Amino acid sequence: MTAPDNNEGGLSVLDRPNSYIGRTVPRPNAKRLIAGRGTFVDDIKLPRMLHLAFLRSPYAHAKIEGIDSDEAKSMPGVIGVFTGKDLIDHCTSWQGVLTHLAGLKSAPQSALAVEKASWQGEAVVAVVATSRALAEDAIEHIIVDFKDLPVVLDMETALDPATPVIHPELGDNLTWTREVVGGDVEAAFSNATHIVEETFRFSRHTGVTLEPRGLVADFDPVERKMTVYHSGQAPHMMQAIFAKHVDLPEADVRVICKDIGGSFGIKVHTYGDEMATVAIAKILGRPVKFIADRVESFTADIHSRDHKVTARMAVDAEGKILGYELDDLTGVGPYSMYPRTSAIEANQVISLSGGQYDFENYRAKATVVYQNKAMMCQYRAVGHPIATAVSEGMADLAAAATGLDPLEFRRRNLVADDAYPKTSAAGAPMDDLSHHACLDKMVTMMDYDAVRADRTAARAQGKIRGIGFASFIEVGSPSPLFYGTGGARISAQDGATLRLEPQGTVTVSIGVTEQGQGTEAIIAQIAATAVGVAIENVRVKTGDTDNSPYGGGTWGSRGAGIGGEATLQAGKVLRQNILHVAGAVLQTGPDTLDILDGAVVDKQGGAERITLADLGAQVHFRTGELPNDLQPEFVATQHYRVKGQPFVLTNGIQASYLDIDPETGGVTLLKHWVVEDCGTVINPQLVDEQIRGGVVQGIGGVLFEECLYDEDGNFISATMADYLVPMAAEMPDIEIAHVETPTSTSELGAKGAGEAGTGGAPAAIMNAVNDALAPHKARVTTHPITPERVLRALGVI
């Protein structure tokens, strides 16, 4: 339940008159984006700005025996050429490890490859010129003497004694391993009526932000201050990283994130090309711009997934889950990504799998290995697409083994809505979830009986048609236990500063950032509600380390849950501050007053006493009229972090309805439904659009997107023509409903909404595909479910 606000006479602050919570209001920043007036990083032009281009390794693994750049240095417009060795003294190396992930090991990584390149696309030489085109011209004239090294590609053989070790100093290709055990799995399986087993494969895919990564680094050599305009999600984290590795005090590094053209977790990591850009700007004392082109994005952005999971589930005669075990193997490229590491996705898989179900006996093992492919790290819904697809795939197998309808199986096994707080078999704390309420709502929303009847009729006409479900949990609002505890300078806390301006408007400065989710809109809604002003009179400023309270930025579905709560608390303090001054001015008790729609009013009756504009003018310009013992404070800052829990979970259920073409193997999505519980819904439209966008990214992963490598480690689908992303024509309409169970960890009660769509969609669609294929005795458990994989399963090819 939401905690009562003492100032509202028993009413929640969310229920204040003129509350904007739960209302659809337009995003204040969307208008200019729709008019083409955004400012993305490539739109920034600074005086004397130079452009960077990189020579990248064409080999997956090669020793660098020499670099001849003499000719390039004399090319028109070229200002400088930098190799890895040139930058060693200007940018220190890093290691993607966290102390709380015991045993995680990684080799030191530099901005540019020094002794050897370890994946195709690793930056080797940087050329600075007066234009990008001239820099690229010069790259054509650089000769790098690469000597091929044996490549390690297959994660299944990466640990074999016969496989070469990528970084000999590490001893082997093992990145990290962990086992989670709960209860007595052996006993559970020995008591089972049915045991089902399956192997699932999840290919690599990547984020494909439509705006590629990029930055402009501007170093002032006189004041020794670095300003970085960055296409990123976490300005304070990057401030700390840039400062540390190019040796500047954090206070002299300013990171500004203006409009960001999509992020999805891609833009929250440390990339060598970006570090090189900052280091070179410092060396040259001039602004330097680097914008990744699309091929660079494919080969140098982080990838995600690439898991092979074998799973077993034991159920009794009634279909109750007795035990569940799984073994997850994942390949993460040649280094663990800095500073978040490449072990988190596998850790999520083993920590969260099956968490929607009520059972005691669990064993899961994660093995993370190195390979000579692009680096792997956290992308939207980290680990959840795998955890959910495996658990829900196993649930459907177990349902079939016991002769139960998939929804009946879920009803018998989902954690009861009144069972919280509880700890999952994997040891994860769970609270405020609503699996059964969501399932019931789904049955009604989709009209399950009607859809089943439609499927039967379609099958009678020869269609290969299926229905699939996925119940899921999703982590949001991560606490300091995620990264900070392990030594990373990543804030799990965010601050909001609210300021009443002389004209009665409110300015909010906040650490959480906007990449299109609508962060600025929801923060404005919360501030307007908490203070008592019209939303048109709220301005939100974010994405600038010089001007925002310290914070983590936006990732991990934390914007609403953490930034929103900080705003709510700061708004309440500001309102009290204002009422304190108003009480003195009006010679009445502050507790008899309230603020409504931009004016101080009598709490009883609502009569207007003084507008905030009049009060603002008095406080700022006619201060002499105030009592001498009254010092108005029209600025309030509050911070917020999740306490006592590692994260705030959300839950929901998705359903997919689809056809398979027996001749082409292609999947046609007929309809997709989502019931989501993200706690308090601040802006229904923005939440629904986050879910829809997330679902479609999940659809990309399960049906289309695949980073394909050949046997030499060449990335052969590294263009938008070869790497398929969802297009408008292929996507279904997505119907959404909500169950609102506010999180008891905050007053606002909002949980995250940005990732659950991506986490659940692959499972629902895979289950629908296998429901469709079941009458044909075929199954597909490799993602993406391409036409070829479907046809092979059907025995057509």
Partner 1 sequence: MDETTVISCTVNGEAVEEIVPARLNLVDFLREKLDLTGSHVGCEHGVCGACTVRLDGVIVRGCLTLAAQVNGATIETIEGVTATGEVADLQEAFLARNAAQCGFCTPGMVMSAAELLTVNPDAGRAEIRDFLSGNYCRCTGYQAIIDAVETTLAGRKNGGSTT
Minimum CB distance to partner 1, residue 649 (Å): 23
Residues 6+ away with beta carbon under 8 Å from 50 = 79, 128, 129, 130, 284, 286, 287, 288, 289
Count of C-beta atoms within a 10 Å radius of residue 674:
27
Closer residue to partner 1 in complex, CB, 45/777: 45
Residues 6+ away with beta carbon under 8 Å from 403 = none
43 lies in the site for partner 1, by CB under 8 A = yes
Closer residue to partner 1 in complex, CB, 591/733: 733
Binding mask 499-518 for partner 1 (x = CB under 8 A): ----------------xxxx
Distance CA 703, CA 724 (A): 9
Residues 6+ away with beta carbon under 8 Å from 662 = 464, 794, 796
Contact pick of 20, 21, 42, 313 for partner 1 (by CB under 8 A): 42
> Which tokens in the block code for residue 666?
């292609």
- Angle subtended at Cα 28 by Cα 679 and Cα 46, rounded to the nearest 5 degrees: 120
Choose one: 269-277, 302-310, 399-407, 691-699; the region binding partner 1 (CB under 8 A).
691-699
- The dihedral over CA atoms of 387, 402, 670, 465, expressed in degrees to the nearest 10, equals 130
Closer residue to partner 1 in complex, CB, 264/482: 264
Please work out the total of residues on this chain that contact partner 1, with binding judged by CB under 8 A. Answer: 56
Q: Tell me, rounded to whole angstroms, the distance of Cα 439 from its chain centroid.
A: 25
Which residue from 301, 278, 334, 274 is spatially nearest to 108, judged by alpha carbons? 334
Which residue from 191, 76, 87 is spatially nearest to 138, judged by alpha carbons? 76
Contact pick of 4, 9, 58, 76 for partner 1 (by CB under 8 A): 76
Q: What are phi and psi of 480, to 5 degrees?
A: -60, -15
Contact pick of 2, 22, 38, 183 for partner 1 (by CB under 8 A): 38
Distance CA 676, CA 474 (A): 10
Integer-rounded Cα Rg, in Å, for the chain is: 28
Minimum CB distance to partner 1, residue 439 (Å): 23
213 lies in the site for partner 1, by CB under 8 A = no
Which residue from 229, 241, 232, 239 is spatially nearest to 209, judged by alpha carbons? 232
Closer residue to partner 1 in complex, CB, 211/325: 211
477: three-class secondary structure by DSSP: coil
37 lies in the site for partner 1, by CB under 8 A = yes
Contact pick of 1, 102, 222, 728 for partner 1 (by CB under 8 A): 728
755 lies in the site for partner 1, by CB under 8 A = no
Task: Name which of residues 117 to 176 contact partner 1 (CB under 8 A).
Answer: 133
Choose one: 31-39, 215-223, 576-584, 632-640; the region binding partner 1 (CB under 8 A).
31-39
233 lies in the site for partner 1, by CB under 8 A = no
Closer residue to partner 1 in complex, CB, 31/422: 31
Task: Tell me which DSSP letter residue 209 carries.
Answer: -
Q: Tell me, rounded to whole angstroms, the distance of Cα 346 from its chain centroid.
A: 15
> Which tokens in the block code for residue 21?
């919570």
Closer residue to partner 1 in complex, CB, 11/34: 34
CB 474 within 8 A of CB 649: yes
Task: Name which of residues 291 to 320 contact partner 1 (CB under 8 A).
Answer: 293-294
Minimum CB distance to partner 1, residue 652 (Å): 16
Minimum CB distance to partner 1, residue 750 (Å): 18
Choose one: 303-311, 349-357, 722-730, 738-746; the region binding partner 1 (CB under 8 A).
722-730
Distance CA 42, CA 107 (A): 33
Minimum CB distance to partner 1, residue 729 (Å): 4
416 lies in the site for partner 1, by CB under 8 A = no
Minimum CB distance to partner 1, residue 131 (Å): 8
Binding mask 249-288 for partner 1 (x = CB under 8 A): ----------xxxxxx------------------------
CB 522 within 8 A of CB 578: no
48 lies in the site for partner 1, by CB under 8 A = no
Minimum CB distance to partner 1, residue 267 (Å): 11
List C-alpha distances in Å: 689 to 433, 524, 542, 734, 756.
22, 18, 22, 10, 12
Beta bridge partners, 416, equal none
Choose one: 122-130, 147-155, 299-307, 725-733; the region binding partner 1 (CB under 8 A).
725-733
Minimum CB distance to partner 1, residue 135 (Å): 13
Minimum CB distance to partner 1, residue 714 (Å): 18
Beta bridge partners, 499, equal 507, 635
> Residue 511: enclosing H or E segment and its boundaries?
none
671 lies in the site for partner 1, by CB under 8 A = no
Residues that bind partner 1 (CB under 8 A): 26-27, 30-31, 33-40, 42-43, 45, 76, 133, 207-212, 259-264, 293-294, 515-518, 685-686, 689, 692-697, 719-721, 725-731, 733-734
